[in-house]
């Protein structure tokens, strides 16, 4: 066992003395030591219940003959960080989570890890750490939030963001806005739609690093506690059989994840996180793969923000195994991939079935014949950009309009609220990429402002930043190269005509190569927005959004 280094032989006497100081007995010290990475804190609603999940994991580990040792991971609540400088610290926390987990695991030589995350950056950050460390590991998330309700209509966090726009434009009054904010997030758990947290929880299950049910069992159900106990017991099997993360997270497993990403209609942030996790496995995911996979993968689910359904309903309809089995009918999955169950994907989904054909459509009756996400390329984004195609109004799939250029999120929001954005415009928000932001902020506030102002079917938004999984509309993010790197998005001027063709994966500015080159010669790098602390170091090391915004 790895932990023998701190337990066996006379040279380990100092280490054992410290284990005794923890209250461990000789019999416990003889057993495998399992690290439990807890993302529990008191500011993230998705983490309110993680103490109960961790306690259940500890019971499972002990029941199966291991010794559970808990240590923490940080977590940022994207919703609370949204729309101000705090959002600069959201994506960058992913690397801190991975790095700190690596440090704790290597320093203390755990024999295995159970990772207990729940929100946007914790899930990919811990998967990155698992891949990097390559010791037996399993994830069990805290579960999804229940949907809110007002007069029978289901709500989510996006209802509050779009409610702000409705209030500012006089569509609802202050009392109605207060009712929305009071009822849209009614329980603990990761926000109730197919936003980034739930997207990554579901894809963890697809990749094979979480037990069936990890992505969809609601936070408030006792089934989530049982799942945590099972994860605690299963890590002991993984340790016993030396099943490692890179045995599970293979290239085929990532192809499965991208395929299911399209079928489920996941957040565009998955196009940041999957490449970053794959990078830790020594695997490169090319942006062009997204379009290849999308073209052959039907979109079977329309969960919020795309449609009226929520994660709790996906769970009742059969969950991720049911969607996977339906997609497998088309021969699109690699069913021989190993998973943390010790079984293959094919074995895991063998008995799955769709229990509600409206929540999970059949392959013969999909919401669309192509997947939920598209990558676009052109002279505006030579390295690519992404859009949640399933969330775009039909009339906006092809759009042409004048650029309205802003060098920060705040400037764009002020213009939208000031009535300066008109139907047909293309809002351009730049210098918000991984380096330029720094930190690649999510743009839920401006997209919600556009939707709430009634411009969702007539205005597009493009940015070198990114979008919340709760975003809907013609919102195109991750434009690469970013403005801070001299990308074409930094050369656009007010009134330039932007051409967007999502079905054909194109995005261009109507300028000649000669004009773009002349502007490039005139372009000068900008001084960094932040010159101190972690963000300053991050900006110097981070790669482009299309390669996962990983640190070199």
Residues catalogued as catalytic: 468
Residue 294: phi, psi to the nearest 5?
-60, -40
Total residue count of the chain as it appears in this document: 552
User: How many CB atoms lie under 10 A from the CB of residue 152?
Assistant: 5
Burial of 543 (0-12, 13-18, 19+ CB in 10 A): middle
Q: Are 45 and 144 in contact (CB under 8 A)?
A: no
Q: Are 139 and 232 in contact (CB under 8 A)?
A: no
Q: Are 483 and 436 in contact (CB under 8 A)?
A: yes
Q: Are 545 and 464 in contact (CB under 8 A)?
A: yes
Return all residues near 384 (Cβ < 8 A) that are at least 6 apart.
Answer: 287, 288, 375, 376, 377, 478, 480, 546
Residue showing tokens 């997209």: 447
Looking at residue 382, the DSSP 8-state letter turns out to be E
- As a 3-state breakdown, the chain gives helix, strand, coil percent values, each rounded to 5, of 45, 15, 40
* Alpha-carbon gap, residue 385 to 371, rounded angstroms: 16
* Alpha-carbon gap, residue 169 to 163, rounded angstroms: 10
* Alpha-carbon gap, residue 117 to 337, rounded angstroms: 24
Residue 515: phi, psi to the nearest 5?
-65, -40
* Alpha-carbon gap, residue 189 to 55, rounded angstroms: 17
Return all residues near 123 (Cβ < 8 A) that are at least 6 apart.
Answer: 117, 139, 141, 197, 200, 201, 204, 273
* Alpha-carbon gap, residue 179 to 183, rounded angstroms: 6
DSSP string, 410-454: HHHHHHHHTT---TT-EEEE-S-STTTTTS--B-HHHHHHHHHTT
């Amino acid at each position: 066992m790895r932990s023998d280094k701190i337990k066996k032989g006379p040279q380990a006497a100092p280490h054992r003395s410290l284990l005794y100081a923890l209250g461990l007995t000789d019999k416990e010290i003889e057993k495998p030591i399992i690290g439990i990475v807890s993302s529990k804190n008191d500011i993230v609603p998705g983490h309110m219940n993680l103490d109960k999940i961790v306690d259940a994991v500890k019971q499972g580990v002990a029941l199966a003959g291991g010794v559970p040792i808990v240590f923490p991971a940080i977590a940022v609540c994207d919703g609370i960080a949204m729309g101000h400088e705090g959002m600069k610290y959201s994506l960058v926390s992913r690397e801190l989570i991975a790095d700190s987990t690596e440090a704790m695991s290597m320093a203390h030589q755990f024999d295995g890890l159970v990772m207990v995350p729940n929100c946007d950056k914790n899930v990919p950050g811990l998967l990155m750490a698992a891949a990097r460390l390559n010791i037996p590991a399993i994830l069990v998330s805290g579960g999804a939030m229940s949907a809110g309700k007002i007069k029978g209509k289901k709500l989510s966090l996006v209802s509050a963001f779009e409610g702000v726009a409705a209030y500012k434009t006089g569509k609802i009054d202050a009392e109605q806005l207060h009712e929305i904010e009071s009822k849209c997030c009614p329980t603990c758990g990761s926000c109730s739609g197919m936003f980034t947290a739930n997207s990554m929880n579901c894809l963890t299950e697809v990749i094979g690093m979480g037990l069936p049910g990890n992505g969809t069992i609601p936070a408030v159900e006792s089934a989530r506690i049982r799942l945590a106990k099972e994860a605690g017991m299963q890590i002991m099997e993984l340790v016993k059989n030396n099943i490692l993360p890179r045995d599970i997270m293979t290239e085929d497993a990532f192809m499965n994840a991208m395929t299911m990403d399209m079928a489920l209609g996941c957040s565009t942030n998955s196009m940041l996180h999957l490449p970053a996790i794959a990078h830790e496995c020594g695997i490169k995911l090319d942006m062009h793969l997204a379009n290849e996979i999308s073209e052959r993968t039907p979109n079977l689910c329309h969960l919020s923000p795309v449609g009226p359904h929520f994660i709790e309903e996906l769970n009742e309809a059969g969950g991720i195994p049911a969607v996977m089995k339906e997609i497998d009918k088309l021969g699109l999955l690699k069913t021989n991939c190993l998973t943390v169950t010790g079984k293959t994907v094919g074995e895991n989904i063998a008995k799955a079935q769709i229990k509600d054909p409206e929540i999970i459509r059949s392959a013969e009756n999909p919401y669309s014949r192509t997947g939920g996400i598209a990558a676009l390329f052109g002279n505006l984004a030579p390295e690519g950009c992404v859009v949640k195609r399933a969330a775009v109004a039909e009339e906006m799939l092809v759009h042409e309009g004048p650029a309205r250029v802003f060098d920060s999120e705040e400037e764009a929001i002020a213009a939208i609220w000031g009535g300066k954005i008109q139907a047909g415009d293309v809002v351009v928000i730049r210098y918000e990429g991984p380096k330029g932001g720094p930190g690649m902020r999510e743009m839920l506030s401006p997209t919600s402002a556009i939707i709430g102002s009634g411009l969702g079917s007539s205005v597009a938004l493009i940015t070198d930043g990114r979008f919340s999984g709760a975003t809907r509309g013609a919102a195109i993010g991750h434009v690469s190269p970013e403005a801070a790197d001299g990308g074409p998005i930094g050369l656009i001027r007010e009134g330039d005509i932007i051409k967007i063709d999502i079905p054909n994966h194109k995005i261009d500015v109507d300028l000649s190569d000669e004009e773009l080159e002349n502007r490039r010669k005139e372009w000068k790098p900008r001084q960094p927005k932040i010159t101190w602390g972690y963000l300053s170091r991050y900006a110097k090391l981070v790669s482009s959004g299309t390669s996962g915004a990983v640190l070199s």
